[in-house]
Amino acid sequence: MPDSASTQPATTATAPAGEHWPAPAAQRPVRARIPLPGSKSVTNRALVLAALSATPCVVRRPLVSRDSELMVGALRALGVGVAEVPSEDPSVPDLSVTPAALRGPADVNVGNAGTVMRFVPPLAALATGDVRFDGDPRARERPIDELVGALRALGADIDDGGRGALPLTIRGTGAVRGGEVTLDASGSSQFVSALLLSGARFTEGVHIRHEGPPVPSQPHLDMTVEMLRAVGVAVTTGENWWKVEPGPVSASELTVEPDLSNAAPFLAAALVSKGEVTVQGWPVRTTQAGDALRELFTRMGGEVLRSGADDTDLTLRGTGAIHGITADLRDVGELTPTIAAVAALADSPSRLTGIAHLRRHETDRIAALATEINRLGGDVEELPDGLVIRPRPLHGGVFHSYDDHRMATSGAVIGLAVPGVEVENIATTRKTLPDFPGLWSEVLA
């Protein structure tokens, strides 16, 4: 993995921005069995825990994508050793992480990775020296104010120019006092995960209370707690509170599961084309939000089957029926763009709610989905916290991605059923998938 993510201007484009990718239509039922790259959320948590560990650690089957490269760049900028080492799969090396005393001065480019812009500032507060954070223009608009306030209350010195947003500088002193803190994490669960991941290294640990509208993305919080416990950190939780005891982080080997949220467009391809897609290595038990696809796509008309050794082949079979759905997606917000794309092709209306926080994701996903589906002839209404989607016959046209990987893959799903859809900036899928267009063509071949 090149050491470029922290120092170079942010770019992922393998095609010029604005280039249009003709989304292939499904000429016949899609039939495929695919391995999926590693989970972004697990990879970037594993890298942070490995960097905080008392011992060197190997991260196995990591995702290689823009967001993981940005995380590696951030850790290297803070003095942590990250090296590729051979793995069982020659196409994806493992990552050997050698912890070191965290130090600035450093510049961290967060790109548009929520995990980097939220999980790394607590590490920077533990470092000595100044660490400056900035990213894509959109990263400056994404919320971080509650995390900054909480870190300050826990003893960190942060200069954000009074903006409560990027760019900002953390003036690390080598230690964070920690202790009790109250914040409003309704804007992003990542504020809580960020403090929990580093909390064991704070002098007094950390005891977080949430006050405000509900915190989204419960599975991602469960993932944080589970991964912390797996590396020997004592965590207790209750309703709207989380507590991490001070103590060592002991990570030596962490294995990354396939990215189940990125299974969404591929399983959708089976549903939309009356085909059959099998994802290999679907864990029998997982904290990933993408696991909810089994239930959501069943309700939308698909059939889910498990097979293979240890039941880890997960097959979605399209039955020909595509139903609308009424669903509160607060816990699994990152699945919304794909669910909305399928809903636009369904035989009845859908109502997706609980997702006001998506307005401050990679783009305002509520507005972007309504605009782009309506541009193709759809009838989508924005709610303050969601979408009402009334299916109508769609026509071809440009589907804009707004530099949002999940918007781009949603355009590809609609294109399966609607001839003439062109997705603008498909290269933005590299945020969390190394080669979406390549994998999509393989699946459709």
Ligand X SMILES: C=C(OP(=O)(O)O)C(=O)O
Are the beta carbons of 366 and 333 closer than 8 angstroms?
Answer: no
Segment near ligand S3P (CB under 6 A), from 53-61, 188-196, 273-281, 302-310?
188-196
Binds ligand X (CB under 6 A): choice among 201, 406, 409, 416: 406
Q: Minimum distance between the CB of residue 193 and ligand S3P, rounded to whole angstroms? A: 5
In the list ligand S3P, ligand X, none, the entry touching 217 (Cβ below 5 to 8 angstroms by class) is ligand S3P
Token output for 192: 């809580």
User: Within a 10 A sphere around the Cβ of 134, how many other Cβ atoms?
Assistant: 18
Q: Is 142 annotated as a binding residue?
A: yes
Q: Is 188 annotated as a binding residue?
A: yes
Q: Could you tell me how far CA 93 lies from the centroid of its own chain?
A: 21
Catalytic residue among 146, 257, 334, 424: 334
Q: Is 186 annotated as a binding residue?
A: no
Token output for 258: 């396939």
Which of 227, 438, 249, 432 is closest to 338 using CA atoms? Answer: 432
Q: What three-state secondary structure class fits 20?
A: strand
In the list ligand S3P, ligand X, none, the entry touching 317 (Cβ below 5 to 8 angstroms by class) is none
Catalytic annotation present for 141: no
Q: Which is nearer to ligand S3P, 40 or 317 (CB)?
A: 40
Q: Which of residues 87-126 bind ligand S3P (CB under 6 A)?
A: 114-115
C-alpha to C-alpha distances, 316 to 28, 237, 263, 438, nearest whole angstrom: 16, 35, 10, 21
Tell me the C-alpha distance between 331 and 438, whole Å. Answer: 30
Residue 114 touching ligand X (CB under 6 A): yes
Binds ligand X (CB under 6 A): choice among 201, 207, 330, 361: 361
Tell me the C-alpha distance between 259 and 257, whole Å. Answer: 6
Q: Which is nearer to ligand S3P, 37 or 104 (CB)?
A: 37
Which of 332, 345, 397 is closest to 371 using CA atoms? Answer: 397
Q: Which is nearer to ligand X, 114 or 275 (CB)?
A: 114
Which of 383, 331, 374, 332 is closest to 356 using CA atoms? Answer: 383
Tell me the C-alpha distance between 348 and 325, whole Å. Answer: 8
Q: Minimum distance between the CB of residue 61 and ligand S3P, rounded to whole angstroms? A: 17
Q: Is 41 annotated as a binding residue?
A: yes
Q: Which is nearer to ligand X, 132 or 220 (CB)?
A: 220
Segment near ligand X (CB under 6 A), from 14-22, 110-118, 156-164, 263-271?
110-118
Tell me the C-alpha distance between 346 and 91, whole Å. Answer: 38
Q: Which is nearer to ligand S3P, 68 or 190 (CB)?
A: 190
Tell me the C-alpha distance between 261 and 338, whole Å. Answer: 9
Q: Could you tell me how far CA 214 lies from the centroid of its own chain?
A: 19
Residue 357 touching ligand S3P (CB under 6 A): yes
- Taking CB positions, which residue lies at the least distance from ligand X? 114
Token output for 182: 């109250």
Binds ligand S3P (CB under 6 A): choice among 12, 41, 169, 350: 41
Q: What three-state secondary structure class fits 278?
A: strand
Residue 39 touching ligand X (CB under 6 A): no
Segment near ligand X (CB under 6 A), from 20-28, 29-37, 111-119, 315-323?
111-119
In the list ligand X, ligand S3P, none, the entry touching 65 (Cβ below 5 to 8 angstroms by class) is none
Binds ligand S3P (CB under 6 A): choice among 6, 43, 112, 189: 189
Q: Which is nearer to ligand S3P, 113 or 439 (CB)?
A: 113
Residue 429 touching ligand S3P (CB under 6 A): no
Residue 113 touching ligand X (CB under 6 A): yes
Locate all alpha helices (DSSP H) within 212-315, ordered by sequence. 218-230, 264-273, 293-299
Tell me the C-alpha distance between 171 and 164, whole Å. Answer: 16
C-alpha to C-alpha distances, 122 to 150, 209, 356, nearest whole angstrom: 10, 17, 26
Q: Minimum distance between the CB of residue 182 and ligand S3P, rounded to whole angstroms? A: 18
Q: Residues interacting with ligand S3P, by CB under 6 A?
A: 41, 114-115, 188-190, 193, 216-217, 220, 333-334, 357
Which residues does the annotation mark as catalytic?
A: 334
